[in-house]
Amino acid sequence: MSAELTEEVVKRLQEAHYWHVATLNPDGSPQVTPVWAGLRGDRILVNTVAGRKKDRNLRNDDRVALSLHIPEGYANIAIQGRVVETIEGDQAERDIDELSRKYTGKDYAGRTPDMRRVTFLIEPVHIWYRPPM
């Protein structure tokens, strides 16, 4: 059962904010990483390097949480969801370039010859938004 992305959440995902993504390690402990995030339709898009902790954790357990602190008025957004699609290859490479242009204004500059990217599309299950005070 998915949750609908509200106008405020969509706005924040379209902007260049650093989101925190929490995944679960195999022992059940949490792992949190700041990420670039975007949208593809009504799914949240995150991208990482294949083989990194986020990648391994999300392939092992599709549950994920994202949060964003909005400094103005101490507002914040918390999203619980699950990975519904994993994308590799050329599309994942295009995705990191698109995210990089959004956040830096240019294509992704951190590639190495052995690096492979992976995109995860996340279906939101629960969304909590605290508006500015």
CA distances to 14, 46, 59, 91, 115 from 19, in Å: 12, 10, 20, 22, 23
Claim: this prediction has a pTM higher than 0.85: yes
12-49 pLDDT per residue, tens? 999 999 999 999 999 999 999 999 999 999 999 999 99
pLDDT of residue 46: 98
- 8 Å CB contact between 33 and 68: no
Q: From the first residue on, what is the mean pLDDT of each consecutive set of 10 residues in the chain (133 residues)?
A: 92 96 98 98 97 97 97 91 98 98 96 94 97 86
* Rounded distance between C-alpha atoms, residue 107 and residue 7, angstroms: 28
CATH of domain 7-130: 2.30.110.10
* Rounded distance between C-alpha atoms, residue 2 and residue 57, angstroms: 21
